[in-house]
Amino acid sequence: MNNEGHDYFMQRCIELAKIAKSNGESPVGAIIVKDGVIIGEGIEAGKAHLDISFHAEIEALRSASQFLQTQDLSGCVLYTTHEPCIMCAYMIRHTKISEIIAAIITGEYGGFSSGYPLLSDTSIQKWGTPPKLVFGILESECRDL
């Protein structure tokens, strides 16, 4: 997919991130796309639920799994305003997401850029091939959140 297609879906992530921010949460929004159609969405909501597992990416994965009635999300693309954290990375690998499109690299707690790069790990055979990673899509717009 070209950057225009990525920009379109990242705009939806930005809309979701703005909702999270207006709720007093970190401005993170995520969606799952299969065959060009959004099948799952999530916003950061850990403070509201008093539960750290309510990250935008995990909520989008839960939503997509319910939509497809399976935890196997092979062939799906995750779009997110921020690089998925280590916790989210585990769930992404478990559900076999094929590609991740993110705006901002997060560093020490990132699922790719930290010292625990689960998103690119090949040592866990059950996870199969790591997802393709694309960073920097609408990065400045996401940083402005």
Scored b (16 or more CB within 10 A) or e, 49-75 reads eeeeebbbbbbbbbbbbeebeeeebee
**Residue 57 designated active-site:** yes
Q: Who contacts 108 (Cβ-Cβ below 8 Å, separation ≥6)?
A: 114, 115
| Residue from 57, 83, 99, 141 carrying the catalytic annotation | 57
Q: Who contacts 39 (Cβ-Cβ below 8 Å, separation ≥6)?
A: 32, 33, 63, 64, 67, 68, 76
Query: Where in the sequence numbering do the catalytic residues fall?
Result: 57
